[in-house]
Amino acid sequence: MKSIIAESLTERSRQRALQALGVFCGLAAALWLAAAEAPTKLVTIAVSPLVISFMMVFGAFISRWSLPALIRGTSDIGGDVRQVPHLVVWGILAGCLWAVGNTLTIFGVRDIGLSIAFPLWNSNSLIGIVWGIVFFRELRRAGWLRWVGVVGGAVIIFGGALLLSLASTSQTSSQHPLRGVTAALGAGMMFGSMYIPYRKAYISGMNPLSFVTFFTFGEMGTITALTVGFMGGVAPLWHELVRFHAILFWPLLGGFMWVVGDLFQNFAAKYVGISRGVPLSNTNQLWGLLWGMLVFGELRSAPRGVIAQVVGGSLLMAVGAVAIAFSSAPESEYISWKEAAQRESDLYQIDPAYVAMSMEGKERRDAPFRRSWLDWSLVTAATSIFAVFGMLAVIPHMEFNWLWLAGLTSAMLVVLAACGIMMWKTTGFN
Partner 1 sequence: MMVGENRTVDGEKSVWWIVMFHDVQLWVPLAVFLGGLILLRAIQ
**Binding residues for partner 1, total number by CB under 8 A:** 33
User: Measured from the CB atom, is 134 or 246 closer to partner 1?
Assistant: 134
In our burial notation (b when 16+ CB lie closer than 10 A, e otherwise), range 232-263 reads: eeeeebeebbeebeebbbbbbbbbbbbbbbbb
Report the interhelical angle of 274-281 vs 124-136 (nearest 10°). Answer: 170
We find the least distance from the C-beta atom of residue 389 to partner 1, in angstroms, to be: 26
When asked if residue 220 is in the footprint of partner 1 (CB under 8 A), the reply is no
We find the least distance from the C-beta atom of residue 218 to partner 1, in angstroms, to be: 9
When asked if residue 90 is in the footprint of partner 1 (CB under 8 A), the reply is yes
When asked if residue 126 is in the footprint of partner 1 (CB under 8 A), the reply is no
User: Measured from the CB atom, is 91 or 149 closer to partner 1?
Assistant: 91
When asked if residue 86 is in the footprint of partner 1 (CB under 8 A), the reply is yes
We find the least distance from the C-beta atom of residue 346 to partner 1, in angstroms, to be: 8
Nearest-angstrom CA–CA distance, 225 and 201 = 26
When asked if residue 228 is in the footprint of partner 1 (CB under 8 A), the reply is no
| 267 close to 25: Cβ distance less than 8 angstroms | yes
User: Measured from the CB atom, is 150 or 196 closer to partner 1?
Assistant: 196
We find the least distance from the C-beta atom of residue 179 to partner 1, in angstroms, to be: 5
Instruction: Select from 28, 43, 100, 408 the one that contacts partner 1 (CB under 8 A).
Output: 100
Tally the C-alpha atoms within 13 A of residue 224's C-alpha that lie toward its C-beta.
10
User: Measured from the CB atom, is 344 or 360 closer to partner 1?
Assistant: 344
Instruction: Select from 101, 160, 273, 288 the one that contacts partner 1 (CB under 8 A).
Output: 101
User: Measured from the CB atom, is 82 or 304 closer to partner 1?
Assistant: 82
User: Measured from the CB atom, is 258 or 389 closer to partner 1?
Assistant: 258
Q: How many residues are present in the chain?
A: 430
User: Measured from the CB atom, is 71 or 344 closer to partner 1?
Assistant: 344
Which positions ≥6 away from 198 have C-beta within 8 Å?
94, 211, 266, 269, 274
We find the least distance from the C-beta atom of residue 247 to partner 1, in angstroms, to be: 22
User: Measured from the CB atom, is 58 or 107 closer to partner 1?
Assistant: 107
User: Measured from the CB atom, is 19 or 224 closer to partner 1?
Assistant: 224
We find the least distance from the C-beta atom of residue 211 to partner 1, in angstroms, to be: 14
Cα dist from 14 to 6, 215, 279, 318, 327, whole Å: 15, 29, 23, 28, 17
Task: Count the neighbouring beta carbons within 10 Å of the beta carbon of residue 299.
Answer: 20
When asked if residue 97 is in the footprint of partner 1 (CB under 8 A), the reply is yes
We find the least distance from the C-beta atom of residue 10 to partner 1, in angstroms, to be: 27
| 62 close to 128: Cβ distance less than 8 angstroms | no
When asked if residue 212 is in the footprint of partner 1 (CB under 8 A), the reply is no
Binding mask 345-384 for partner 1 (x = CB under 8 A): --xxx-----------------------------------
Maximum pairwise Cα distance, the chain:
63
When asked if residue 237 is in the footprint of partner 1 (CB under 8 A), the reply is no
In our burial notation (b when 16+ CB lie closer than 10 A, e otherwise), range 374-397 reads: ebeebbeebeeebeebeeebeebe
When asked if residue 270 is in the footprint of partner 1 (CB under 8 A), the reply is no
When asked if residue 256 is in the footprint of partner 1 (CB under 8 A), the reply is no
When asked if residue 197 is in the footprint of partner 1 (CB under 8 A), the reply is yes
We find the least distance from the C-beta atom of residue 415 to partner 1, in angstroms, to be: 30
| 430 close to 363: Cβ distance less than 8 angstroms | yes
Within positions 153 to 182, which residues make up the interface with partner 1, using CB under 8 A?
179, 182
User: Measured from the CB atom, is 91 or 361 closer to partner 1?
Assistant: 91
Q: Of the ranges 101-109, 248-256, 370-378, 388-396, which one interacts with partner 1 (CB under 8 A)?
A: 101-109
User: Measured from the CB atom, is 219 or 306 closer to partner 1?
Assistant: 219
Task: Tell me which residues touch partner 1 (CB under 8 A).
Answer: 81-82, 85-86, 89-90, 93-94, 96-97, 100-101, 103-104, 107, 131, 135, 179, 182-183, 186, 189-190, 193-194, 196-197, 200, 226, 230, 347-349
